[in-house]
Amino acid sequence: MSGHSKWATTKHKKAVIDAKRGKLFAKLVKNVEVAARTGGGDPDGNPTLYDAITKAKKNSVPNDNIERARKRGAGEEAGGADWQTIMYEGYGPNGVAMMIECLTDNKNRAAMEVRTTMTRNGGQMADPGSVAYMFARKGVVIVPKNELSEDDVLEVVLESGAEEVNDLGESFEVVSEATDLVNVRSSLQAAGYDYDSAESSFLPSVNVPLDAEAAQKVFKLVDALEDCDDVQNIWANFDVSDEIMAELDAS
């Protein structure tokens, strides 16, 4: 989930219940398989696969599962599905714009699942292009702070094409053009800095501020969409303040 980054970070830190972890594992394994199919099975020559494997490992997906997915995608092992990427657009409660990326082997099932989930949770589907113009595809690397300062990170990534470094509280978000993602990630690695994730993302140009009631409705919709097997990523243009996040966490 990528709406306002602070929410993404909070979500990232929340304890993941077993059912959710199972869904997360399945999505991360699917990412590995698709990346291997698209760009080849060698992580050293396929940066997307490298990042997909790294993310899966950082989320404790067993190495055997990762390797089997890589082999299926690369055609070294039978059993891979014909995954297709489909992007749906829509609006959540309070007019929040949403981009919903599905990775599916059945387009009709994915469309029905997304549409039903949106309708049941106060959202509505939108025509292709009616929401996408509010987002730009960017490279995003999340770097845990540890002992690092913003200047430490800036110094390393500016030369490699980073556009901005945002302080998310316990981590930094490094934003670049999607085409510079590998350069930024490589610069951090060369400097010996750990990172939580490096991936292509859709960032909104304008955010919609939400009060506590609206935030609860949007989070409910996001949770329901994330429970859909075919939904791989969700991007949205909402902004929830630290005070309202604290209020929701306490309730």
Q: Assess if CATH 3.30.70.980 describes domain 134-204.
A: yes
* pLDDT given for residue 2 in this prediction: 46
* Confidence band for 99, pLDDT divided at 50, 70 and 90: very high
* Domain ranges within the chain, ordered by starting residue: 5-74, 87-130+209-250, 134-204
Tell which CATH classification among 1.10.530.10, 1.10.10.200, 3.90.1150.10, 3.20.20.70 matches the domain 5-74.
1.10.10.200
Residue 119 predicted with pLDDT over 80: yes
* pLDDT given for residue 66 in this prediction: 95
pLDDT digits (tens, 9 = 90+) for 131-160: 999 999 999 999 999 889 999 999 999 989
Query: Greater confidence, 41 or 3?
Result: 41
pLDDT digits (tens, 9 = 90+) for 156-170: 999 899 999 988 888
* CATH-assigned architecture of domain 87-130+209-250: 2-Layer Sandwich (3.30)
The yes-or-no answer to whether 87-130+209-250 and 134-204 have a common fold is yes
DSSP code string of the chain: -BSSHHHHHHHHHSPPPHHHHHHHHHHHHHHHHHHHHHH-S-TTT-HHHHHHHHHHHHTT--HHHHHHHHHHHHTSSS-----EEEEEEEE-GGG-EEEEEEEES-HHHHHHHHHHHHHHTT-EEE-TTTTGGGEEEEEEEEEE-TT--HHHHHHHHGGGTEEEEEE-SSEEEEEEEGGGHHHHHHHHHHTT---SEEEEEEEESS-EE--HHHHHHHHHHHHHHHTSTTEEEEEE-EE--HHHHHHHHH-
